[in-house]
Amino acid sequence: MTDSLVLSIDGMGGDDAPDIVVEGVDIAAKRSTDTRYLIHGDAARIEALLARYPSAKAATRVAPAEKAIGMEVKASQALRQGKGSSLWNAIEAVEKGEANAVVSAGNTGAFMAISLFRFRAMEGVHRPALTTRWPSIKGGYTVILDVGANVEADNEQLVEFAIMGEAFARAVSNIARPSVGLLNVGSEEQKGHEEIRAAAALIRQADFDMDFRGFVEGDDIAKGTVDVVVTDGFTGNIALKTGEGTARLVAHYLRDALTGSLLGRLGALIAYPALRRLRRRMDPGTFNGAVFLGLNGLAVKSHGSADGHGFAAAIDVATLLARSHYREEIASNLARLAAAEAAGAKVGEAG
């Protein structure tokens, strides 16, 4: 591996792969000229696309893969039969040290299963977590995890998520000391179930130097009350999908209002540039790139329906993380967590 970054790309993952993948690499290659790309997949199709994208072509090597894992394949099946696929090979290239991170817009379940199987969880991480970003009224975004890797999380796992999310926010948002909140049904200390109250106590007890703000509520995600919102994968997945559904509902109402009358249509025509800007801000692609955090390898998942710009955003996340010290930061806070737990256990014995 040279000094420049190498990203291993699943060329065949995503609804419109390989087209959006090569387009995304082209956009990213223009932004960051010292990154190299290793695109795995159908070599003939990918080379044909590269011929149309000179910036991508100049920075890319194609690694032929004989098959692709479909979006409907179950994780267990992908693990058994996925060897030799573009996704599998893309992950393996990172494992072998040929690349710094893998990016795929493919099957999420397969991506998580194969990443976990090949990379393994970092020492001290019980459950890697899927981490993503949600736009906030403050103009930036809120990091949220877990958004679906695990359906349950105990207090210790929630604290691990807090550690991982904080390091992620520092790497990707360029905030020196990101604030962290635990998602709950109220901000008062006595609220919520036992696991979450125990997690809050454990964070306060451990010597993390973390800007921990206690409990936050669902509407704090879009408000941007804290930089990092921590929750279990069941709640996180459902909350964000409810948010997505609501955003689509409001967009539908807006379309309805602006096409339902002559004045509405005329106004929309005149305000067209402003409405186009609104559409771009609401485009989930802007914040594309979920990271499966807590593995020994860096695994970034693009939304399956991403376009080229969305895929490039996922590449940006991989680049920022690969150039950061997120893994060392996580390891050092995990050691502090272990120390706090050992001290807690001693207190327990003494009592």
Instruction: Please identify, using beta-carbon distances, which residue of 64 and 243 lies nearer to its own copies.
Output: 243
User: Which of 143, 154, 232 lies closest to 179 in space, CA to CA?
Assistant: 143
Instruction: Please identify, using beta-carbon distances, which residue of 274 and 347 lies nearer to its own copies.
Output: 274
Task: For residue 351, state whether it binds its own copies (rule: CB under 8 A).
Answer: no
Give yes or no for a cis peptide into 316 (omega within 30° of 0). no
User: Which of 329, 315, 339 lies closest to 178 in space, CA to CA?
Assistant: 329
Task: For residue 243, state whether it binds its own copies (rule: CB under 8 A).
Answer: yes
Which parts of 155-184 interact with its own copies (CB under 8 A)?
A: 183-184
Burial of 67 (0-12, 13-18, 19+ CB in 10 A): middle
User: Which of 277, 283, 279, 274 lies closest to 313 in space, CA to CA?
Assistant: 283
Task: For residue 344, state whether it binds its own copies (rule: CB under 8 A).
Answer: no
- Residues for the chain: how many in total? 351
Query: Which secondary-structure segment (H or E) carries 300?
Result: strand 299-301
* Contact pick of 272, 325, 339, 347 for its own copies (by CB under 8 A): 272
Task: For residue 44, state whether it binds its own copies (rule: CB under 8 A).
Answer: no
Task: For residue 126, state whether it binds its own copies (rule: CB under 8 A).
Answer: no
**40 is written with which tokens?**
């795995």
Determine contact, residues 221/136, Cβ cutoff 8 Å.
Answer: yes
* Contact pick of 52, 80, 177, 277 for its own copies (by CB under 8 A): 277
Query: Which secondary-structure segment (H or E) carries 95?
Result: helix 86-95
* Contact pick of 95, 154, 211, 217 for its own copies (by CB under 8 A): 217
User: Which of 161, 129, 114, 149 lies closest to 8 in space, CA to CA?
Assistant: 114
Task: For residue 244, state whether it binds its own copies (rule: CB under 8 A).
Answer: yes
Give the shortest CB-186-to-its own copies separation in angstroms.
8
Give the shortest CB-148-to-its own copies separation in angstroms.
6
Task: For residue 271, state whether it binds its own copies (rule: CB under 8 A).
Answer: yes
Task: For residue 79, state whether it binds its own copies (rule: CB under 8 A).
Answer: no
Q: Which residues bind its own copies (CB under 8 A)?
A: 135-137, 148, 151-152, 183-185, 191-193, 217-223, 231, 233-235, 237-254, 256-258, 260-261, 263-264, 266-275, 277-278, 281-282
